[in-house]
Amino acid sequence: MSTPAPSPPLPLAGVTLLDLSRILAGPVCSQILGDLGARVIKVERPGRGDDTRQWGPPFFHGQSAYFQSVNRNKWSLALDLRQPAGRQVLDDLIRRSDLLLENFLPPEVEKFGLAPGRLKQLNPALVSCSISGFGRTGPWSDRPGYDAAIQAMSGLMAITGPIDGEPSKVGVAIADVITGLYAAISLLSGLCARRAANGSDPSQAAPRAFDLSLLDCTIASLVNVAQSCLVTGENPRRFGNGHPTIVPYQTFRAADGYLMLAVGNDGQFARLCDLLGHPEWAADPRFATNPARVTHREELVPLLEALFAQATRAEWAERLTRADVPFAPVQSLGEALSLEQVAARQMVVEVDAHGNPLKLLNSPIRIEGQSPPLPTPPPDVGEHSEQVLREFLGYDAGQIRELLAAGVCGQATDTSGTSTTDDRGPSLR
């Protein structure tokens, strides 16, 4: 029997990311890079770890679902940065890492020696990224940032929610997620710049310290709506599930639930009119073009609402599919996770978490010719402390015992006090 060919290495194989972030934006970023093959060393406080470990219920064997959602493919090092010996370990990690990610407030950045100038002294080739609520410059640079507050002050809530109701936040911490994506892009661009230098003196390279703000990234995500405000000088209004500049592009109530109609051009609208038995609407000057439909939305939408209420979602699905009119049923999350398309793309996988089967979301990134690798489960606090110290930093057994005994480093234990550190995932070397 022939031996199967080994899988090609992932794009970031051999790259080490030192992850000093916690909560959501930073972990989103580091999880993306871990999915792409980077060795992510997540530094956490001994004992308690990342705050989101306690953000539940629900919990799975003591780990919150919140924490599990953004911490796959990582190694946990429990390290007390309040102690000088802990900061010395941190310096050693910085010297050996390719990338660094943190989301501390300015006093902690200085206390832990994470200012860009000092990082460059420790490791001239390091690419670093700082995430904060408002950035490292400006009058609000010392304020903490929280997703819900950022959604409120960025204008996002003002354009989200029922037309005549109160402003609404998005159902997930979208400001954090967006910032995490921008952070991943920033670190990858810095890595590309470093590789482009091709061995030149890293101390002479352009700065590779990135400064990302939740507020900046959320405002940037408002794209066309923000640009319309800049062009007109007028505040956009809420359209509920409708679209400010495309009609009909909104939800409609069917006989047994809701469906989303996404008519993006005049040809699709004409096919919709034929389907509904009103081909004359496509020639009506009020509705013939999208700008006209936007102007006369209050006349067109009630006509459509009356028709869509007369059949079920399944009936409309069959008719709209046949007519090649874009739509989707409004589904629960459980229905979405159960879709055969989601299964075919292996977006939900089951992993072994210390003998317990755990379902996780998988990375959405697919590489041609490769099946997505099975992720390693989110780690316990300090689960890989000894491995990081031994394999990555090269500490000897005596040094490791001393750090553990002094509480500078911690390791995961089960209820009996036995270490749960194991060899899940690839070696750090």
Residues 314 and 261 both lie in one domain = yes
Is residue 230 situated within a structural domain?
Answer: no
Active-site residue, from 80, 176, 216, 380? 176
CATH of the domain at 258: 3.30.1540.10
3-state DSSP call for residue 29?
Answer: helix
How confident is residue 206, by pLDDT bands cut at 50, 70 and 90?
low
CA distances from 188 to 99, 118, 195, 357 (A): 9, 21, 11, 33
Residues 174 and 274 both lie in one domain = no
In 3D space, the residue among 90, 38, 130 whose CA is nearest the CA of residue 428 turns out to be: 38
Query: Looking at the 3D structure of the chain, how many domains does it have?
Result: 2
Residues 87 and 203 both lie in one domain = yes
Stronger pLDDT, 303 or 206, i.e. the higher one: 303
Is residue 278 situated within a structural domain?
Answer: yes
Residues 174 and 75 both lie in one domain = yes
pLDDT tens digit sequence for 183-196: 999 999 999 999 88
**pLDDT of res. 418:** 41
pLDDT tens digit sequence for 156-186: 999 999 999 999 999 999 999 999 999 999 9
Residues 274 and 183 both lie in one domain = no
CATH of the domain at 49: 3.40.50.10540
Report the C-alpha gap between 232 and 147 in whole angstroms.
Answer: 28
Length of the chain in residues, anyone?
A: 429
Residues 203 and 258 both lie in one domain = no
CA distances from 120 to 43, 128, 203, 240 (A): 20, 9, 8, 48
User: Which residues in 204-229 are b (16+ Cβ under 10 Å) and which e?
Assistant: ebeebbbbbbbbbbbbebbeeebebe
Q: Is the pLDDT of residue 1 over 60?
A: no
Residues 141 and 287 both lie in one domain = no
The first and second tokens of residue 412, run together, are: 């995961």
Residues 97 and 177 both lie in one domain = yes
How confident is residue 222, by pLDDT bands cut at 50, 70 and 90?
very high
Residue where a domain terminates, one of 330, 362, 393: 330
Return the number of other C-beta atoms located less than 10 Å from residue 2's C-beta.
4
| Average pLDDT, integer, range 401-428 | 63
The first and second tokens of residue 213, run together, are: 């703000």
Is residue 119 situated within a structural domain?
Answer: yes
What is the helix (H) or strand (E) element at residue 77, kind and residue range? strand 75-79
Q: Is the pLDDT of residue 4 over 90?
A: no
**pLDDT of res. 196:** 87
Is residue 9 situated within a structural domain?
Answer: no
Is residue 237 situated within a structural domain?
Answer: no
The radius of gyration of the chain from alpha carbons, rounded to an integer in Å, stands at 26
3-state DSSP call for residue 306?
Answer: helix
Q: Is the pLDDT of residue 207 over 90?
A: no
Residues 159 and 289 both lie in one domain = no
Give the structural domain span for 306.
249-330
Report the C-alpha gap between 384 and 420 in whole angstroms.
Answer: 9
Is residue 226 situated within a structural domain?
Answer: no
Contact 118, 126 (CB under 8 A): no
**pLDDT of res. 201:** 66
Residues 141 and 284 both lie in one domain = no
Is residue 11 situated within a structural domain?
Answer: no
pLDDT tens digit sequence for 267-312: 999 999 999 999 999 999 999 999 999 999 999 999 999 999 999 9
Residues 68 and 199 both lie in one domain = yes
**pLDDT of res. 7:** 76
274 catalytic per annotation: no
Is residue 416 situated within a structural domain?
Answer: no
Residues 185 and 260 both lie in one domain = no
Q: Is the backbone peptide bond immediately before 357 cis, with ω within 30 degrees of 0? A: no
Return the number of other C-beta atoms located less than 10 Å from residue 237's C-beta.
9
Structure letter (DSSP) for residue 369: T
The first and second tokens of residue 73, run together, are: 């493919």
pLDDT tens digit sequence for 50-91: 999 999 999 999 999 999 999 999 999 999 999 999 999 999
What average pLDDT does the chain have?
92
